[in-house]
């Protein structure tokens, strides 16, 4: 399989906007052309080869600089938290990042697969509409939230996080699946509109604040604010179906198989048709 590899060779002082480096945009370009592309860094523009060592590995494993090579896989090595907007607007293909990523990882992701082996900054999966973001590490605040000023967050796709996430995960989330294996910060699922958000670890304060619809799946009973209503314990057969659909995911969620939950409805200060389901031991 071919891959185009960007190895970070400087330690950037300013943040670097990596949004031009996606499979669609680099398709059919030679290494020399890619090297000359401009990247914004603060108020300056840098050439790609000022920031990265670029190498293209062909299908046979050797160096391949032919123009028709298939760049459906892009790899970032030695990545740092200064690299923003990795995978912005990606529609297909794969990006794998080794090291940390900056803010807006997978911004407006529309397809393909984006994998991070490290920690992500704020606004990962912001305004995402399809595809898969898999973070082997932690994420900052506003995971899967909306663009600034917008009224809807993530609209589709799957986000898997093995570590912890910051505040406001799933803010204004509209559709899609967000599965967090670690802890979530305050205001988890705030203003959520629809979709499914799971947290296996702890959640912070004001969980489901302003939640309108949607499902928040937890394993531990959170401290809830006054406008979340306890609806008692239930056996919900749909959970078996849902967990069955998660079987194929490379995640601890694939092992879940329970259908006994305590259900909380809310936020009753904002329509109140959202639900928090806390899994109970079988």
Partner 1 sequence: MLTKLTGGRVYDPAHGIDGQVMDLYIRDGRLIARPRDDEKVSKEYDLRGKVVMAGAIDMHTHIGGGKVNIARMMLPEDHRADPVAHSELCRAGCGHVAPSTLTTGYRYAEMGYTAGFEPAILPVNARQAHLEMGDTPIIDKGGYAMLGSDDYFLRMLTAKKDQNAINDYVAWTLHASQAIGIKVVNPGGISAFKFNQRALDLDAQHAYYQVSPRDVLKSLSRAVHELGIAHPLHVHANNLGVPGNLDTTLKTMGASEGYPLHLTHIQFHSYGTEGDRKFSSGAAAIAEAINQHQHISADVGQILFGQTVTASGDSMRQHANAGLANPSKSVIMDIECDAGCGVVPFKYRDQNFVNALQWAIGLEIFLLVDDPWRIFLTTDHPNGAPFTSYPHLIRLLMDKSFRNDMFTKLNLDAQAMSTLANINREYSLYEIAIMTRAGAAKLVGLHDRGHLGVGAAADITVYTEDADREKMFSKPDYVFKDGTLVVRNGQVVQVTWGSTHTVRPEFDRSVEQDLRAHFDRYHTMKLDHVKVSDDEIAEGGRGRVQVQPCLGRREKTR
In the complex with partner 1, the residue whose CB is nearer, 220 or 271, is 271
Distance in Å, CB of 71 to partner 1, minimum: 28
Q: How far is the CB of 24 from partner 1 (least distance, A)?
A: 20
Q: C-beta of 151: minimal distance to partner 1 in Å?
A: 7
- Identify the residue whose tokens are 């239930």: 234
Residue 125's closest CA among 94, 98, 150, 88?
88
> Is 237 within 8 Å of 259 (Cβ atoms)?
yes
CB 35 within 8 A of CB 54: yes
Q: Detail the DSSP E strand segments found in the chain.
A: 3-8, 16-17, 38-41, 44-47, 52-57, 73-79, 83-84, 94-99, 110-117, 130-135, 158-161, 177-180, 196-199, 215-218, 229-235, 260-266, 274-279
Q: Of the two residues 9 and 151, which places its CB atom closer to partner 1 in the complex?
A: 151
Supply the minimum distance, in Å, between the C-beta of residue 54 and partner 1.
28
Q: How far is the CB of 127 from partner 1 (least distance, A)?
A: 11
Nearer to partner 1, 147 or 265 (CB): 147
**Site track for partner 1 across 114-153, x = CB under 8 A:** ---------------------------------xxxxx--
**Residue among 107 and 169 whose Cβ is closer to partner 1:** 107
Strand partners, 196: 177, 215
**Any bridge partners for residue 132, and if so which?**
113, 158
Among residues 33, 68, 39, 80, the alpha carbon closest in space to that of 54 is found at 33
Spatial CA neighbour of 187 closest among 163, 171, 165? 171
Residue 108 or 115: the one with the smaller Cβ distance to partner 1 is 108
Instruction: Please give the residues from 146 up to 185 whose contact with partner 1 meets the rule CB under 8 A.
Output: 147-151
Q: Is 255 helix (H, G, I), strand (E, B) or coil?
A: helix
40 vs 243, which CB is nearer to partner 1?
Answer: 40
Q: Is the dihedral of CA 209, 211, 216, 220 positive or negative?
A: positive
- Rule CB under 8 A: say whether 44 interacts with partner 1: no
Taking the complex as a whole, how short is the minimal distance between the CB of residue 200 and partner 1, in angstroms? 34
Residue count at the site for partner 1 (CB under 8 A)? 5
Taking the complex as a whole, the smallest distance from the CB of residue 84 to partner 1 amounts, in Å, to 16
- Per CB under 8 A, contacts with partner 1 among 45-104 are none
Nearer to partner 1, 148 or 226 (CB): 148
> Which stretches of the chain bind partner 1, using CB under 8 A?
147-151
């Amino acid at each position: 399989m071919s891959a185009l590899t960007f190895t970070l060779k400087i330690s950037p002082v300013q943040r670097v906007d990596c949004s031009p480096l996606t499979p669609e945009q680099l398709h059919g370009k030679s290494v020399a052309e890619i090297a000359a592309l401009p990247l914004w860094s603060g108020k300056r523009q840098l050439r790609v080869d000022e920031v990265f060592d670029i190498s293209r590995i062909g299908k046979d494993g050797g160096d391949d600089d032919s123009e028709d090579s298939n760049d459906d896989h892009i790899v970032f090595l030695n990545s740092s938290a200064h690299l923003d907007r990795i995978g912005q607007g990606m529609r297909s293909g794969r990006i794998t990042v080794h090291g940390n990523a900056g803010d807006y990882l997978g911004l407006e992701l529309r397809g393909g697969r984006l994998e991070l082996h490290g920690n992500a900054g704020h606004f990962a999966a912001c305004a995402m509409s399809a595809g898969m973001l898999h973070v082997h590490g932690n994420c900052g605040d506003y995971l899967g939230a909306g663009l600034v000023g917008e009224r809807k967050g993530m609209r589709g796709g799957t986000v898997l996080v093995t570590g912890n996430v910051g505040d406001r995960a799933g803010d204004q989330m509209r559709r899609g699946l967000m599965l967090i294996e670690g802890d979530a910060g305050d205001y988890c699922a705030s203003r959520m509109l629809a979709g499914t958000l799971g947290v296996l670890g702890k959640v912070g304060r004001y969980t489901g604040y302003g939640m309108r619809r949607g499902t928040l799946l937890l394993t531990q009973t959170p401290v809830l604010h006054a406008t979340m209503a306890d609806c008692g314990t239930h056996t919900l057969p749909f959970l078996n179906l849902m967990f069955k659909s998660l079987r194929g995911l490379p995640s601890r969620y694939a092992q879940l198989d329970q259908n006994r939950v305590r259900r909380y409805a809310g936020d009753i200060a904002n329509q109140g048709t959202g639900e928090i389901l806390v899994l109970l031991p079988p």
